[in-house]
Amino acid sequence: MTRKIAILGATGSIGRSTLDLIEAAPDRFEVVALTAASNVDQLAEDAKRTGAKLAVIADEALLPQLRQGLTGTNIHAAAGSVALAEAAAGEADLVMAAIVGCAGLEPVMAAVHAGKTVALANKEALVTAGALMLDAAARSGATLLPVDSEHNAIFQCLAGQSGDGVARLILTASGGPFRSSTAEEMARVTPAQAVAHPNWAMGAKISVDSATMMNKGLELIEAHYLFGVPAERIDIVVHPQSIVHSLVEFADGSMLAQLGPSDMRVPIAHVLTWPERMATQVDRLDLLAAGRLDFEAPDEVRFPAMRLAREALGAGGAAPVVLNAANEVAVAAFLDGAIHFPDIAALVERALRAMHEPAPRSIDEVIVLDAKARAVAARMVAEQGA
Ligand code: NAD
Ligand code: MG
Ligand nearest to the CA of 242: 2
List pLDDT tens digits, range 154-170: 999 999 999 999 999 99
Bridge partners of 74, per DSSP, are none
Domain boundaries, the chain: 3-146, 316-386
Tell me the CATH number of domain 316-386, given options 3.30.70.260, 1.10.1740.10, 3.40.50.200, 1.20.1090.10.
1.10.1740.10
Backbone angles phi, psi at 111, to 5 degrees: -65, -40
Any ligand 1 atom below 6 A from CB of 96: no
From ligand 1's centre to the CA of 14, what distance in Å?
7
Among the residues of the chain, which ranges form H helices? 13-23, 40-50, 63-69, 81-89, 105-113, 123-140, 149-158, 183-186, 191-195, 204-212, 214-227, 265-273, 287-290, 305-315, 319-335, 341-354, 363-385
Residue nearest to atom 39 of ligand 1 (CA): 202
From ligand 2's centre to the CA of 271, what distance in Å?
15
pLDDT reported for residue 384: 84
- Predicted model pTM: 0.98
Confidence of residue 382 (pLDDT cuts 50, 70, 90): very high
From ligand 2's centre to the CA of 41, what distance in Å?
29
From ligand 2's centre to the CA of 332, what distance in Å?
20
- Nearest CA to 367 among 104, 142, 10? 104
- Is residue 386 over pLDDT 70? no
Q: Which residues contact 66 (CB under 8 A, 6 or more apart)?
A: 40, 43, 44, 55, 57, 77, 79
Phi/psi class of residue 157: alpha, beta or left (left: φ > 0; alpha: ψ in -120 to 50)? alpha
pLDDT reported for residue 1: 82
pLDDT reported for residue 199: 87
Any ligand 1 atom below 6 A from CB of 206: yes
Give the mean pLDDT of 268-297: 97
List pLDDT tens digits, range 84-141: 999 999 999 999 999 999 999 999 999 999 999 999 999 999 999 999 999 999 999 9
Residue type, 186: M
Task: Determine the Cα angle at 331 with ends 325 and 333, to 5°.
Answer: 105
List pLDDT tens digits, range 320-353: 999 999 999 999 999 999 999 999 999 999 999 9
Cα(181)–Cα(191) distance, integer angstroms: 15
Backbone angles phi, psi at 218, to 5 degrees: -65, -35
Cα(232)–Cα(135) distance, integer angstroms: 23
Q: Which of 66, 99, 209, 216 to mutate to test the pocket of ligand 1 (most atoms within 8 A of CB)?
A: 99
pLDDT reported for residue 271: 98
DSSP secondary structure code for residue 264 in this structure: T
Alpha carbon separation from 163 to 136, 156, 227, 252, 275 (Å, rounded): 21, 16, 10, 13, 21
Fold matches, 3-146 and 316-386: no
Radius of gyration of the chain (CA): 20
Cα(170)–Cα(333) distance, integer angstroms: 32
List pLDDT tens digits, range 19-71: 999 999 999 999 999 999 999 999 999 999 999 999 999 999 999 999 999 99
pLDDT reported for residue 198: 86
- 137 near 117, Cβ under 8 Å? no
Q: Calculate the dihedral angle through the C-alpha atoms of 309, 328, 321, 143, rounding to the nearest 10 degrees.
A: -90
Average pLDDT over the chain reads 97
pLDDT reported for residue 201: 86
From ligand 2's centre to the CA of 219, what distance in Å?
7
Residue 205 Cα: closest atom of ligand 1: 2
Q: Strand 166-173 relative to strand 234-238: parallel, antiparallel, unpaired? A: parallel
Residue nearest to atom 43 of ligand 1 (CA): 148
- Is residue 316 over pLDDT 80? yes
CB atoms within 10 A of CB 275: 7
3-146 architecture in CATH? Answer: 3-Layer(aba) Sandwich (3.40)
